[in-house]
Amino acid sequence: MNLPALDPGAGALARPPLILASASPRRRELLARLGITADGVLATDIDESPLKGERPRDHAVRLAAEKARAAAVQRPDALILAGDTVVGAGQRILPKAEDEATARACLALLSGRRHRVYSAVAVIGPDGRLRQALSETILRFKRLTSAEIEAYVAGGEWHGKAGGYAIQGSAEGFCAWLSGSHSGVVGLPLYETRRLLLAAGVQVA
């Protein structure tokens, strides 16, 4: 069976428009690796505060679903793709660093130890069916010196990033070992995303 084409045109009319529920340029770039350009972008504004006792993996799954549902309310005609990435140290959920002090604290905590990155994906269509998947990646950072932390913080690429670092930037030089999905750590696990989109009837490269 031939699945609907993604390219704009007559073929694209056979499926709902694909809306990426994220303003992240990283997720758009990752989606493009699958040969997909979203028909639109719709950033959602939800409360991302962890629930009491919530584990990192559950937090990622819940937020991805909530983002997808929030976007679906605004675009009930569309196929919504949403994602969320959470960095966990043990059962502790690391914040998205919005200031230098938080970035320093995250890097100091991750220095010389393993941590996990949970990247959840959610897809919801006009029929209201929610499909979800979760990528779990284990990383180990080298032991960071104070000078390395300060130099990284000065570079600014940590801003808004879960755990205070961006693996697609110079922080990859801190990663001594990784097991799992590199794209998931960046923000959109491509294996899981491809699988969900195929299940939703989207033709993927």
Which residue is associated with the tokens 């104070």? 146
H helices present in 49-177, as ranges: 56-74, 100-110, 146-155
CA distances from 165 to 9, 15, 38, 153, 172 (A): 40, 37, 26, 9, 9
84 is catalytic: yes
- Cα–Cα distance between 21 and 28 in angstroms, integer? 10
User: Which entry of 7, 58, 84, 99 is annotated as an active-site residue?
Assistant: 84
| ∠ CA 93-99-100, rounded to 5° | 100
Residues with catalytic function: 84
